Amino acid sequence: MARKDDILVEVKNLKKYFPITRGIIFQRHVGDIKAVDGVSFFIRRGETLGLVGESGCGKTTTGRTILQLYRPTAGEVFFEGQNLCEMKGEKLRRMRKKMQMIFQDPYASLNPRMTVGNIIGEPLEVHNIAKGKEKMERVQELLRIVGLNPYFINRYPHEFSGGQRQRIGIARALALNPSFIICDEPISSLDVSIQAQIMNLLEDLQEKFGLTYLFIAHDLAVVRHVSDRVAVMYLGKLVELTDRDTLYREPLHPYTKALLSAVPIPDPFVEEKRERIILVGDVPSPANPPSGCRFHTRCPLVMDICKEEEPEFRDVGGEHWVACHRV
């Protein structure tokens, strides 16, 4: 159970813009894709914060920017109280031992020309933690921890299934004994029955090693299962953040409500009685987000002020943050 004041990661007004250029010889900066546009939240030691939203909302970019895989355009990221954005070179590299990532595509995130042993062992070598026999022993231990046969150490990624490759990715993330792992859609490319295996594994590992997770996903039912608190993103901004049970039982933001109502429930008796909130239209482009509240173009409860003024992301009580003029 996470202590109330033990904050491991804190993100303050994080922004990541990707420039849009035009012209072949002389590239003019004509605009920006505002992928992450002012996001603030914290994660306590030992908890799992779910970050949910549809494609293009900026959740993956948020994860990568926190780890400084992209350098932020603005804002700050504090890890154990230290500002990662001000670090570079060796100092930042040493911090990387404590924060790792598990990627979405188990086919693209493993080097096909490296053996499993080398993939998992590479971090140990790079950070001078173990070499040779000691490294191999540690790798075998990690394979066992993620439920793979240590005998596989000399096999290549193509010899494994998607779920097994994802386990290899998890073993690699654990190699340096991190305290914080960002799971970026770790199960969405896996079959349903394998998803459950990996979810159970991630939960077991969290308990065993006292890990803190940022769990990024678009599947709301999955996020609910693994998270303690959940944040909802839309077009580069957070619209709601609260503890898991409150979000799913009493969501406040119209987008959260629509999102929840859109998720199919594997029960025909429930489905036939459900009232769906069907949103009209498509998600606007992050290169040209709507004025005021970004959700106003699709919001069933839109008012005049929503088109002009951006609502503040504020705590409305009990650590329940919402950005909506209606609340």
Partner 1 sequence: MGRLLEVKGLTTRFYTQDGVVHAVNGVSFHVDEGETLGIVGESGCGKSVTVLSCMRLIPQPPGKIVAGEVLFNGRDLLKVSEDEIRQVRGNKIAMIFQDPMTSLNPVLTIGRQISEALELHLGMTREQARKRSIELLKMVGIPEAEKRIDDYPHQFSGGMRQRAMIAMALSCNPQLLIADEPTTFLDVTIQAQIIDIVKRLKKELGMTVIWITHDLGIIAGIADRVIVMYAGYLVEEAPVKELYGDPRHPYTIGLLGSVPRLDEERKERLTSIEGLPPDQINMPPGCPFAPRCAYAIERCLEENPSLRTVAPHHKIACWVDLKSGQVSKSAS
Chain contacts with partner 1 (rule: CB under 8 A): 54-55, 161, 163-164, 191-197, 199-200, 203, 218, 220-222, 224-225, 244, 248, 258-272, 274, 276, 278-279, 281-283
Q: What is the distance between the alpha carbons of residues 74 and 72, in angstroms, rounded to a whole number?
A: 5
CB of residue 199 to partner 1, shortest distance in Å = 6
Q: What is the distance between the alpha carbons of residues 108 and 99, in angstroms, rounded to a whole number?
A: 21
CB of residue 196 to partner 1, shortest distance in Å = 4
Take residue 149 and report the two structure tokens written for it: 């046969």
The nearer residue to partner 1, 85 or 168, going by C-beta atoms, is: 168
- Bridge partners of 18, per DSSP, are 33
CB of residue 84 to partner 1, shortest distance in Å = 31
Starting at the earlier edge strand, list the strands of the sheet with 321-322: 99-102, 180-184, 212-217, 48-52, 229-234, 237-243, 321-322, 314-315
The nearer residue to partner 1, 98 or 218, going by C-beta atoms, is: 218
CB of residue 107 to partner 1, shortest distance in Å = 13
Residue 277 vs residues 4, 8, 141: alpha-carbon distances, Å: 36, 37, 49
The nearer residue to partner 1, 74 or 196, going by C-beta atoms, is: 196
Count other Cβ atoms within 10 Å, centred on residue 32: 17
CB of residue 317 to partner 1, shortest distance in Å = 23
Q: What is the distance between the alpha carbons of residues 26 and 310, in angstroms, rounded to a whole number?
A: 35
In which element (H, E) is residue 208 found?
helix 192-209
Take residue 22 and report the two structure tokens written for it: 């035009």
The nearer residue to partner 1, 98 or 224, going by C-beta atoms, is: 224
CB of residue 192 to partner 1, shortest distance in Å = 6
- Bridge partners of 7, per DSSP, are 44
The nearer residue to partner 1, 123 or 184, going by C-beta atoms, is: 184
Q: What is the distance between the alpha carbons of residues 269 and 248, in angstroms, rounded to a whole number?
A: 20
Count other Cβ atoms within 10 Å, centred on residue 42: 15
The CA angle 196-229-193, to the nearest 5 degrees, is 5
The nearer residue to partner 1, 99 or 220, going by C-beta atoms, is: 220
- Bridge partners of 230, per DSSP, are 50, 242
CB of residue 106 to partner 1, shortest distance in Å = 13
CB of residue 179 to partner 1, shortest distance in Å = 24
The nearer residue to partner 1, 66 or 183, going by C-beta atoms, is: 183
The nearer residue to partner 1, 246 or 261, going by C-beta atoms, is: 261
